[in-house]
Amino acid sequence: MLLNRRQFLASSAAISTFPAAAASNIRFATGGYIWQNEIEEAIRATARFRFQGIEPYRPHILKYLDRPLELKKQLDAAGLSMATCSNGGSGMMVDFIDPAHTAQTIQDHVRFARDFIVPFGCRHFKINLGRRPSAPPSAAQLKTMADTLNRLGRETAKLGLKIAPHPHIWSPLERESELRAVMGWTDPELVFLVPDMAHWTLGGMNLMQVMTDYYPRIAGIHFKDTDAKYRGYRGPTPTQEQHREVNLYKNLGAGGVDFPAVMELLRSKGYRGWITLDLDPPRPGEGSIEEVLETNRKYLRERLAARI
């Protein structure tokens, strides 16, 4: 189908804006969360859409927990890598703000990193940080988190893995002031980050400034968008009730995140890591998983000149 003049110029502009991004070593993964427990279908679909890797969540790969090489064999056959695997699920303590749970949290994460993640050749271990307390976390709780991350990072470094917390709305690390406090208390050689463009936007962070300030500590990145009304948002974090009513997470290009600016920053810095398309399962009216993947892949290719 022929492009009209506007489409041709827009496509050409996108490609000329990001030549280094297109030619770089950035790798793109799908987030396994969209498939939930269907990890085998996740592998097949990821390969069909020509992403280079997948990032599953521990609760969805429990059947492979004691046999990671069986899962790796499937990934190898599909020509895929595991970007990382998130923490959580049964049998793992995920409490970074209560000193009473620090030892168990570290023990469980080190065991999972050693026994499951390392066999895949991953370079970082992306971790969620548990539930947000009913009141904003105190300085003491954030200091406990920082101390726990330092200790955990020291252990995973021995395994060749960067520990990379994932600031997330409705978690203890949601707002910019909280992130800056924890980053200030952690060792930059031991503790890294996996920023999520939608979560950081919804949490009221100055996305581009925080990305720039902590760029040397970025171990991986999550891409998803949010409604355009949240562009530059500095208000209170939308509630989980709001999210249940209307999905806060949108396909790329919805307008909440300035992805061309994000990619220009990454290009200028020579970013060489993973970008994971991290989406929830589509709700009624949002299309099928394959339609969602195609919509987002098209945006990555046409607007951001991604090599997928």
Looking up tokens 């200790």, which residue turns up?
A: 151
Q: Mean pLDDT throughout 222-231?
A: 98
CA distance 127 to 194: 8
pLDDT at 24: 59
Q: Tell me, yes or no, whether 6 lies in a domain.
A: no
Between CA 297 and CA 191, with CA 271 as vertex, the angle to 5 degrees is 110
CA distance 54 to 34: 11
Q: Tell me, yes or no, whether 5 lies in a domain.
A: no
Q: Is it the case that residue 128 has pLDDT exceeding 90?
A: yes
Residue in 216, 213, 223 with CA at minimum distance from that of residue 180: 213
Between CA 89 and CA 97, with CA 183 as vertex, the angle to 5 degrees is 40
- Here the CATH number for the domain that contains residue 295 is 3.20.20.150
Q: Tell me, yes or no, whether 10 lies in a domain.
A: no
CA distance 55 to 82: 6
DSSP state of 113: I
Residue in 285, 291, 303 with CA at minimum distance from that of residue 34: 291
User: Taking a C-beta distance cutoff of 8 angstroms, is the pair 110, 152 a contact?
Assistant: yes
- The number of distinct structural domains making up the chain is 1
**pLDDT (tens digit per residue) in 286-307:** 999 999 999 999 999 999 999 8
Q: Tell me, yes or no, whether 3 lies in a domain.
A: no
Strand partners, 191: 163
**pLDDT (tens digit per residue) in 83-126:** 999 999 999 999 999 999 999 999 999 999 999 999 999 999 99
User: What is the amino acid identity at position 196?
Assistant: D
Looking up tokens 């070593």, which residue turns up?
A: 25
Q: Tell me, yes or no, whether 136 lies in a domain.
A: yes
Residue 115: both structure tokens together: 């026994």
CA distance 105 to 88: 10
User: Taking a C-beta distance cutoff of 8 angstroms, is the pair 248, 272 a contact?
Assistant: no
pLDDT at 120: 98
Mapped onto helix, strand or coil, the DSSP state of residue 220 is coil
**pLDDT (tens digit per residue) in 232-267:** 999 999 999 999 999 999 999 999 999 999 999 999
Strand partners, 127: 165
- Helix residue ranges, H only, 18-138: 19-23, 39-48, 68-78, 102-112
Work out the number of other CB atoms within 10 angstroms of the CB of residue 264: 17
Q: Mean pLDDT throughout 157-181?
A: 98
pLDDT at 175: 98
pLDDT at 25: 84
pLDDT at 70: 98
The model's pTM: 0.92
Phi, psi of 124 (to 5 degrees): -140, 160
Phi, psi of 181 (to 5 degrees): -65, -50
Mapped onto helix, strand or coil, the DSSP state of residue 275 is strand
Burial class (CB in 10 A: 0-12, 13-18, 19+), 184: exposed
Q: Tell me, yes or no, whether 7 lies in a domain.
A: no
Burial class (CB in 10 A: 0-12, 13-18, 19+), 58: buried
| % of the chain at pLDDT higher than 70 | 92
Work out the number of other CB atoms within 10 angstroms of the CB of residue 95: 18
**pLDDT (tens digit per residue) in 140-167:** 999 999 999 999 999 999 999 999 999 9
Looking up tokens 């679909």, which residue turns up?
A: 45
**pLDDT (tens digit per residue) in 32-89:** 999 999 999 999 999 999 999 999 999 999 999 999 999 999 999 999 999 999 999 9
Its domain, for residue 204, covers: 17-302
User: Taking a C-beta distance cutoff of 8 angstroms, is the pair 161, 117 a contact?
Assistant: yes
